Amino acid sequence: MQLSFLSFFTARAIIAGRRFRSLLAAMTLPGGAFGAVGGLSAATPPDGGTISIDVKMDDGHMDVPVATYMDAAGQALAGRGFTILDDPGHSAYVVELSIHREEVGTGSTRVAPVKSDMAHGGALGSVGTGAIISIPSGKSRHVALERTTIDMRVRRRGASMDVWKGTAVTVRPADAAERAGRDLCNALMRAYPEQVEGIIGVP
C-alpha cells in the first residue's frame, strides 16, 4: 500500500515536469511569451546573407527617387556582409525602409566663397601661371530645414516578426535629402546588430 502511494505521486511529478518543459518550449518559440519582445522575434540578427530592400515613402514626397534610398541602404548593408538581391522572392531576408520627411522651419547657412581669378602672370605681372583664390563673401542665406526619419526593419522572407529594427533621424537643409538618406542608413548599420533603445540622432 505504501509502495503504491509513493509510485502514484512519483508518476504525477514526472507528468508535471513534462508539461512544464513543453510549456516552456512553447513560450520560447517565436511569437511566444518569451520569444517576442517589443515586436522582435527570438531569432538572432544575421551577420550576412542575401537580402532585398523594400522602400516605403510614408509622407508622399517623391522629389528624391526611391532608388536613391535603395542604393543608400544597399551600400550600408553590403558593408555588413549582406548580398543585395533585386528579387524579394529569392532573398533569405527582407529589409523594409520607411521614409518620413517633414519641414521644420528655416535656418541660415553661409554663402559659398566667391572665386576671384588673378590675371595671367600672377600679382603685379610676376612670371608664373594664373590662380583662383576663394574670397569669403561674409554673407548667409535662409534655407528650408527638413527632418528626415528612417525606420529600418529586418525580417526573414515570409515572416511577420522582425529580427532587428532601428530608427534614425536628422535635420538637414531640404536640398540635402539624398545625403541625409545615406548618413541615416550608415548610422543604422553602425548600430547593427545591437538593438538600440530609442532613436539614433544624426547631426
pLDDT tens-digit series, residues 3-41: 454 454 454 544 455 554 544 444 444 444 444 444 555
- Note whether 21 and 66 are same-domain residues: no
Does the pLDDT of residue 131 top 70, yes or no? no
Which pLDDT value is given to residue 109? 67
Which pLDDT value is given to residue 126? 45
Does the pLDDT of residue 123 top 80, yes or no? no
Domain count, the chain: 2
**129 falls within a domain:** no
More confident residue, 125 or 58: 58
Q: How many CB atoms lie within 10 A of CB 57?
A: 15
96: helix, strand or coil: strand
Q: What is d(CA 127, CA 124) in angstroms, rounded to the nearest whole number?
A: 9
What φ, ψ does residue 131 adopt, rounded to 5°? -145, 155
The answer to whether 31 touches 41, Cβ cutoff 8 Å, is yes
- Note whether 87 and 149 are same-domain residues: yes
**74 falls within a domain:** yes
**163 falls within a domain:** yes
**119 falls within a domain:** no
| Contacting residues for 85 by C-beta, under 8 A, at least 6 apart | 50, 51, 52, 91
Q: Which domain holds residue 5?
A: 1-34
More confident residue, 91 or 130: 91
Q: What is d(CA 120, CA 10) in angstroms, rounded to the nearest whole number?
A: 104
Q: 3-class secondary structure for 98-128?
A: EEEEEEEEEEEEECCCEEEECCCCCHHHCCC
The answer to whether 182 touches 64, Cβ cutoff 8 Å, is no
pTM of the model: 0.67
Identify the CATH number of the domain in which residue 52 sits.
3.30.160.150
- Note whether 7 and 26 are same-domain residues: yes
Does the pLDDT of residue 148 top 60, yes or no? yes
More confident residue, 164 or 38: 164
- Note whether 63 and 152 are same-domain residues: yes
Residues 41-81 pLDDT 10s: 557 999 999 999 999 998 767 778 899 999 999 999 999 99
Q: CA angle at residue 135 from 133 to 137, to 5 degrees?
A: 155
C-alpha cell at 140: 548667409
Range name among 58-62, 83-87, 194-198 with the lowest pLDDT average: 58-62
